[in-house]
Amino acid sequence: MSKKVLIADDEANIVTSLEFLMEQCGFDVRVAVNGREALELVQSFRPDLVLLDVMMPEKNGYEVCQAVRADPALADTKIVMLSAKGRDIEVAKGLELGADAYVTKPFSTRELMAKVKEMLGA
């Protein structure tokens, strides 16, 4: 059974490239364009990993991460936060809220894919 990945980002160009790369690796992919949709998909789709943008409409990535971590049924969900905000304080906040990794934009898709594969054991 293929691993499930949720891409939660409101930037269409990032979503398009990440969706393509994830599907090329054989992952089952869903996309959310805002925080509310991301939370709904996390609960219904039950992804193994979420690529979560920090700055999104309706709910930001920090709020989504916190909500996922508050639900014991989602304890095994891996979260990689993606953000243009790369200051130490933002990275620390993401990790403190329960993100497994924090990647700053712009990022190397090759490095991100390697991290995703490592985290999913793929």
Residue 86's pLDDT band (boundaries 50, 70, 90)?
A: confident
pLDDT tens digits along 14-69: 999 999 999 999 999 999 999 999 999 999 999 999 999 999 999 999 999 999 99
- In angstroms, rounded to a whole number, what is the distance separating the alpha carbons of residues 64 and 88? 20
The residues, ordered by sequence, that sit 6+ positions from 23 with a Cβ below 8 Å of its Cβ are: 29
Rg for the chain, CA atoms, rounded: 13
Name the CATH superfamily, with its identifier, for domain 4-120: Response regulator (3.40.50.2300)
Q: What gap in Å lies between CA 38 and CA 32, rounded to an integer?
A: 5
What does pTM read for this prediction? 0.95
Beta-sheet strands, E only, within the chain = 4-8, 28-32, 49-53, 78-83, 101-104
Sign of the CA dihedral with 33 first, then 36, 37, and 43 last: positive
